[in-house]
Amino acid sequence: MNWKRLAPPVLAALLLVPHGSTAAPKKTFVMVPKGVHPYYEPCYEGFKAAAKKYDVNVDKVDPQKFELPLQVKAIEELIAQRVDGIAISALDDAGLVPVIAEATRAGIKVITFDAPAPSSQALTYIGTDNKTAGYEAGKKMAELMKGKGSIAILQGGLGAANLNLRTQGFKEAMAKSAPGVKILEVVDVAGDFSVATNKTEAILQTYPDLTAIFAVSAEGAPAAASVLKQQKKAGKILLAGFDDLKDTLQGIRDGTVAFCIVQKTFKMGWLSVEALLDASKGKTLPKVTDTGVLFVTRSNVNSYMDEMKKEFAAM
């Protein structure tokens, strides 16, 4: 056995088995986000909490940038280390098909969470029904815009299936609920706060009469909020987006951000462990598990987390 190729959790699990024992080592499951991002911290907290309950080893491998080759490399290394299961937040759908197929051939159970890879052999998707969430966000924005004006959409990667679904749902809702609103652009901000900041500045310069901005990925709203504050346009341009990053919540409190859609990230991580365990036992997984969302506004910004935790209390 090539001990050097084993990840620390796998090696530790094997060394804990007494010599001559027939007991199987603990399963090792690894979370692979799209990249380094605070959004994934509660996902991994849920992953670890479930691992403690079910007595499995878990780890997380973070590609340093939101780049497909880095995510593919991370998965290839996990295949070489012979982990038991991988939960992937898919940075790209088609681009992950070959490596997920390779993992499957190696006997590794692969699921997706947060962002699906529907073209791949991943066994299930656990996360937000992104098109529905985008549609509901579009309805809310149409209401706040009173059916008129113009809007730009910030999207953290144009190849991400989950973000494309959000944008699609958002556009459909706007077309139905506010056909008079003009969607000017869908701007790729690459999942990066600094890129989102620069792109927001460029949007404001290109479209001086812009009415609203909506961000379908986490970094967009806080980045745009900082620009609006700097240019003294906070509250004058309607801003909303996905996910409850600290600066987004502060923007809701001070009126810079109208609302955010919060995904149940802890639940995604928890259910990912349960799904990998079920798959390891040969159980058939549902193709999709919708973990749901919450709208956060000034009225519930200080209480919504308690509402979410109630769901986890029985777990």
pLDDT tens figures, 63-122: 999 999 999 999 999 999 999 999 999 999 999 999 999 999 999 999 999 999 999 999
DSSP 64: S
What is the predicted pLDDT for the residue at 227? 98
User: Phi and psi of 97, rounded to 5°?
Assistant: -55, -50
**Per DSSP, which regions of the chain are E strands?**
28-32, 57-60, 85-88, 109-113, 125-127, 150-155, 182-188, 212-215, 238-242, 259-263, 288-290, 293-296
Q: Where are the alpha helices (DSSP H) in 26-157?
A: 40-54, 68-80, 97-105, 130-144
Q: Under a CB-based contact definition with an 8 Å cutoff, are residues 105 and 48 in contact?
A: no
Report the distance separating Cα 242 and Cα 102, nearest Å: 33
In the structure encoding, which two tokens stand for residue 119, read together?
A: 């073209």
**Regions of the chain short of the pLDDT cut 50:** 1-7, 9-18
Report the distance separating Cα 99 and Cα 75, nearest Å: 7
Give, in order, the Cα–Cα distances in Å from 228 to each of 86, 144, 232, 250, 255: 40, 18, 6, 14, 11
Please choose, from the candidates 178, 72, 85, the residue with its C-alpha nearest in 3D space to the C-alpha of residue 126. 85
Q: Which domains does the chain have, with CATH numbers?
A: 3-128+264-291 (3.40.50.2300), 130-263 (3.40.50.2300)
How many other CB atoms are there within 10 angstroms of residue 313's CB atom? 6
Give, in order, the Cα–Cα distances in Å from 294 to each of 20, 29, 113, 305: 51, 28, 18, 10
Please choose, from the candidates 253, 251, 224, 223, the residue with its C-alpha nearest in 3D space to the C-alpha of residue 151. 224
Give, in order, the Cα–Cα distances in Å from 38 to each of 34, 219, 293: 11, 9, 18
DSSP 5: G
Location of structure tokens 């310069």 = 205
DSSP 234: B
What is the predicted pLDDT for the residue at 161? 87
| Residues sharing a CB contact under 8 Å with residue 55, sequence separation 6 or more, in sequence order | 26
What is the predicted pLDDT for the residue at 245? 93
